[in-house]
């Protein structure tokens, strides 16, 4: 799990930090369950503060792709 840090593990660009520059991020990494290690996934939740309350503003799924 990462806080305010995202990793691009595949061949797609993860630009959630650019899309939500004021947000705080929680990234959950789901490890691969095969020998090759290619079926991993990331779940990124982006939160922004507004009037002293935190709001979920984005849900991003990054996963293994061919």
Quick: pLDDT tens for 3-49.
Answer: 787 766 666 777 888 999 999 999 998 877 777 667 788 899 999 99
Distance from C-alpha of 6 to C-alpha of 8, rounded to nearest angstrom? 7
| Domains: count for the chain | 1
pLDDT given for residue 65 in this prediction: 66
End-to-end CA distance of the chain: 24
The range of the structural domain enclosing residue 20 comes to 2-63
pLDDT given for residue 38 in this prediction: 72
The DSSP H or E segment spanning 25 is strand 24-30
pTM: 0.78
pLDDT given for residue 19 in this prediction: 93
């Amino acid at each position: 799990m990462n806080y305010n840090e995202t990793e691009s593990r595949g061949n797609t660009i993860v630009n959630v930090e650019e899309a939500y520059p004021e947000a705080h991020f929680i990234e959950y990494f789901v490890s691969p369950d095969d020998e090759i290690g290619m079926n991993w996934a990331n779940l990124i939740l982006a939160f922004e503060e507004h009037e002293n309350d935190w709001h979920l503003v984005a849900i991003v799924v990054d996963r293994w792709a061919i």
